[in-house]
Amino acid sequence: MTTFTDKELIKEIKERIGSLDVRDNIERRAYEIALASLEAEAVMFCISGQNVDSEEHVSTSKAVVDAWVEEWNQVDGSPGEPLYKTMPLYYHAALPAPVVPDEMYWQDAPVEGSSKAAAYATGWNACRAAMLHGKGE
């Protein structure tokens, strides 16, 4: 079995995203989610454990939270697994939403004549549908 580093995985995912056909939206979205989680960095850290109010024990410094965790585990000193651990907190920005123009009605088309306006609106809406569904070449 091959083992990949995070850097290698990120590179591989970016290459696969770049080579996907427009129709492969589900696969592309899955790769984008995986890529976002691999590239995410913790923005804060908190103590995780029993009877802990995490909101009161939060810091942007991992070293500070690690010190709290070490101290709490020494005080509550139970053998085996430690009761408290440092937990990273991540900020996940939403992926950009696709920008698609609103549906057009023939009355709103910027051309004269109802038949030309209807044809214009039909073409506009066909392009809009292709953008929404990721179809077309």
Q: Tens digit of pLDDT per residue, the chain (137 long)?
A: 567 777 888 888 888 777 776 566 777 778 787 777 777 788 888 888 877 766 678 888 899 999 988 888 888 767 777 888 898 887 766 666 667 888 999 999 999 999 999 999 999 999 988 888 765 44
CA atoms within 13 A of residue 34's CA, in its CB half-sphere: 16
Distance CA 109, CA 101 (A): 13
3-state helix, strand, coil in the chain (%, to 5): 50, 10, 40
Question: Which sequence spans correspond to the domains of the chain?
Answer: 6-39, 42-90, 98-137
